[in-house]
Amino acid sequence: MAEQIADDCVPGNSTEDRAVVANRGAFDRIGLRQGGQSDAVSPETTVKVLDRSWSAPLVVGPLDAPARPGGELAVIRAAAAAGLPAVVSAFAERTFAELASAADIPLWLRTFAFQGRGTARRIAGRAEDTGFGALLLALGDRDDVRARRVAAPAELGTGARGPFDDVRTLLRARADWSDVAWLRSVTALPLLVAGIGSATEARRAIDTGADGIVVTALDALPEIAETVAGRCPVLLSGGVRRGADILASLAAGADAVVAGRPVLDGLRAGGRAGVTEALAGLVRELGAAMTFTGAATVTDIGPDAIRTAPRPAAEAAPIRAAQPLRKAELHASVCDPVLDTMTFLNEITSRYPEAISFAPGRPYDGFFDSEQIFTHLRRYLNHLEEQGSSSQQVRTAMYQYGPTAGQIREIIADSLRADENIDVPAESIVVTVGAQEAMLLVLRALITGPDDVLLVSSPCYVGITGAARLLDVAVTAVEEREDGISCADLEAAIRNERARGRSPRAFYVVPDHSNPSGTTMGPRARAELLALAARHGILVLEDSPYRLVSPGRPLPTLKSLDRAHSVVHLGSFSKTVFPGARVGFVIADQPVLDDAGRTGLLADELAKIKSMVTVNTSSLSQGAVAGALLAADGKVSELNTAAAAYYGDAMRATLRELDRHLPADRREALGVRWNEPTGGFFLTLRVPFRADNTALIRSAQDFGVIWTPMSYFHPGGGGTHGIRLSTSYLTPTQIEEGAARLARFIEAWSATPEGTAP
């Protein structure tokens, strides 16, 4: 898991907010006094803290929460190259030895009040053994850390613990003076105490054995510095954004500052290079401020270097920052595991970059050429001109907000007729930000109350269940059989819901090479489903993005067979034209009768909702997609001939390699089986152990292969012994090696009771 830099190291979110807001207000009231001309060619920013010289009075960190893959090492290496101390968290994913080896200067460790003193002792001891330069302990509440779900410290050796472990099992709610005294007694490392807000606390910190203090209030800094009187380093944390802020802090009595936010911004913008530039910028700005005030060295900076404006009357009372929001007070969907699944997989992928991943269900980008984007856009602009648009109209079409329902509906309608035999008027189409927005719009329009129900084929794509969760839509799962959904099971579910007094409004299904199971509905099942929908008066939400990236001639879409307006078709160009465009569409040709007896289309109602959500889909994205469709005369299938062949080869190669490493007699003995899709991106395996997050972590860590637990896709529960494999994004070499690794993992875990770590 990557790490992020906290703005400072004060006790909790509310305290941190108050410190940052108050300090920013104080910094904004401070101005620099121009001093005399210094004899130095350039100011000397070197400073000595904890008996070691640093290139500037600037401490980087602490590293504290997820932000960017590789963030920990990027910041450490940038800080070391700049000659600055970096603070890392006890909850760092990498071991202390790995972190220390990334820097040629000692790191500082931010530790906590652990539930068990043995844990705290072990972590402090490991830091000392691996050459860390100091420990830092923050006083006060730790609810902000305890509320997170982060990886257990690597130093604890809990390899089976996942990245969503509850930190409350490891940390106490508060760190107090007894923790400072105890930690001082068990380590020889210099100890800094953070969260100091008054001279009284500063004296107590020194009396308790602190080798340095971190102050949280700029306004209190002069009194604290006077009280300390040079007995230990005094650092300021909170709100530092510029080099002038560093100089102001030193003038107020600090020996150095702790800066996080500028470095975090650099990390997000450019990784290690961004951090390097952020640190260099702060040091340059400090040098410029020193030149302005006439300070040749850091020790020349005194109170006379700054002038402080009086606090406005409106600010006479201390600023009270808003209390932190409680997660329990937010919408319940933010705690739903469905919304965590993709985040979890991304973290696993970034944590084990050398592992071969069968997880991402996305197109292979080897078929995309950046220059095609410009070609597609030019083709669309030419089309507009050919249709009689003036240069002003063309400019408006590309630069302005477009029609909410979309400006390429006619082109999409022509493509659907040419490629899918779907003949619908352009007015029945709404162009959306991917198929995901289409799902959200349709559910919002159809589900009107707590008794309305969405039926889904299970296992089910998490996008639809996630959208339902966001909208508080009740979901009822209809479990697939080995050959896909059974209309008898669906009809039984409809009758059961109505018997409970609820109203089934729609049924969501992926008929072709479904995500996640890979199954495809046969012709008879399609006809039965349409007849059932018409008979029971429910809509079918057809989501079929894998048809035109699969080899061979696909079966007809449900929409092309729909004669009763029972099918709402969710379409996407993300798997065919290119994912980054994020262009999807929905065909909603169902008649809608208003109270005045006027008849419109469901598409019109969806456009109204969209106008309050995304306003319109990007004109540039629509133009690029339209250009691709025009170039292929609307036939997306021809546009994707090579890609479909590649994906078909990848699927066959995966099945072949699985069979080679787990032949029929061996998988029968193990209790392993898989299906054999003829297209699409996915296939599923049944294994004899629990294929859960713990198994996934060990698979990535010990065997170098990543997959997706099928339990993610079962909204009603289940799938605990299933694995989804995506074959679309891998090369033949990766498939060969990945299948071998997967077979070794399955062999090892099948030999243990319920997948207990071997």
DSSP string covering 695-725: HHHHIIIII-EE-EEGGGG-TTS--TTEEEE
Give the integer Cα–Cα distance in Å for 26 and 21: 9
Can you tell me the mean pLDDT for 81-100?
A: 89
pLDDT at 635 over 80: yes
Q: Which overall architecture, per CATH, does domain 368-635 show?
A: 3-Layer(aba) Sandwich (3.40)
Residue 572 β-bridge partners: 584
Confidence band of 358 (pLDDT split at 50, 70, 90) = very high
Q: Which two tokens stand for residue 603?
A: 């598409």
Confidence band of 145 (pLDDT split at 50, 70, 90) = low
8 Å CB contact between 572 and 461 = no
* Nearest-5° Cα angle at 156, 155 to 162: 105
Q: Which residues contact 537 (CB under 8 A, 6 or more apart)?
A: none
Residue 420 or 322, more confident: 420
3-state SS assignment for residue 75: helix
Q: What is the pLDDT of residue 312?
A: 58
Give the integer Cα–Cα distance in Å for 574 and 644: 14
Can you tell me the mean pLDDT for 383-391?
A: 95
Q: What is the pLDDT of residue 37?
A: 65
Give the integer Cα–Cα distance in Å for 510 and 422: 17
Q: Which two tokens stand for residue 205?
A: 């910190």
Q: What is the pLDDT of residue 590?
A: 97
pLDDT at 163 over 50: no
CATH number of 4-308: 3.20.20.70
Concatenate the DSSP letters of all residues of 509-526 into one string. Answer: E--SS-TTT-----HHHH
Can you tell me the mean pLDDT for 260-273?
A: 83
Residue 366 or 11, more confident: 366
Q: What is the pLDDT of residue 69?
A: 59
DSSP state of 171: B
In 3D space, the residue among 69, 89, 76 whose CA is nearest the CA of residue 268 turns out to be 69
Can you tell me the mean pLDDT for 535-560?
A: 95
Of 69-73, 108-112, 355-359, the one with minimum mean pLDDT is 69-73
Percent of the chain beyond pLDDT 70? 88
Distance of CA 55 to the CA centre of its chain: 35
Element (H, E) at 207: helix 199-207
CA atoms within 13 A on the CB side of 175: 31
Q: What is the pLDDT of residue 137?
A: 93
Can you tell me the mean pLDDT for 478-499?
A: 94
Q: What is the pLDDT of residue 495?
A: 96
Can you tell me the mean pLDDT for 410-439?
A: 97
Spell out the domain ranges in the chain. Answer: 4-308, 333-361+642-755, 368-635
Q: What is the pLDDT of residue 14?
A: 47
Confidence band of 494 (pLDDT split at 50, 70, 90) = very high
Q: What is the pLDDT of residues 730-739, one digit of tens each?
A: 999 999 999 9
Confidence band of 153 (pLDDT split at 50, 70, 90) = low
* Tokens 């790490």 sit on residue: 3
Statement: 333-361+642-755 belongs to CATH 3.90.1150.10: yes
Percent of the chain beyond pLDDT 90? 67
8 Å CB contact between 654 and 723 = no
User: pLDDT averaged over the chain?
Assistant: 88
Q: What is the pLDDT of residue 485?
A: 93
Strands, DSSP E only, in 142-186? Answer: 149-150, 165-166, 174-175
Q: What is the pLDDT of residue 754?
A: 52
Give the integer Cα–Cα distance in Å for 236 and 239: 9
pLDDT at 2 over 50: no
Can you tell me the mean pLDDT for 29-40?
A: 76
pLDDT at 3 over 50: no
* Tokens 């990027």 sit on residue: 74
Residue 478 β-bridge partners: 457
pLDDT at 377 over 90: yes
Q: What is the pLDDT of residues 562-600, one digit of tens each?
A: 999 999 999 999 999 989 999 999 999 999 999 888 999
Can you tell me the mean pLDDT for 24-32?
A: 86
8 Å CB contact between 64 and 40 = no
Residue 32 β-bridge partners: 306
Distance of CA 644 to the CA centre of its chain: 29
Q: How many CB atoms lie within 10 A of CB 563?
A: 8
DSSP state of 157: T
Sign of CA dihedral 645, 419, 424, 630: positive
Distance of CA 201 to the CA centre of its chain: 39
Residue 61 or 551, more confident: 551
Confidence band of 311 (pLDDT split at 50, 70, 90) = low
One fold for 4-308 and 368-635 = no
In 3D space, the residue among 233, 234, 290, 220 whose CA is nearest the CA of residue 26 turns out to be 220
Q: What is the pLDDT of residues 164-202, one digit of tens each?
A: 345 556 788 788 898 999 999 999 999 999 999 999 999
Is the pTM here over 0.75, yes or no? no
Q: What is the pLDDT of residues 445-457, one digit of tens each?
A: 999 998 999 999 9
Q: What is the pLDDT of residue 161?
A: 39
pLDDT at 626 over 50: yes
Can you tell me the mean pLDDT for 601-608?
A: 97
Confidence band of 12 (pLDDT split at 50, 70, 90) = very low
Confidence band of 13 (pLDDT split at 50, 70, 90) = very low
Residue 715 or 429, more confident: 429
Sheet holding 682-686, edge to edge: 673-674, 682-686, 722-726, 708-709
* Nearest-5° Cα angle at 158, 157 to 163: 125
Q: What is the pLDDT of residues 196-237, one digit of tens each?
A: 999 999 999 999 999 999 999 999 999 999 999 999 999 999
8 Å CB contact between 19 and 239 = yes
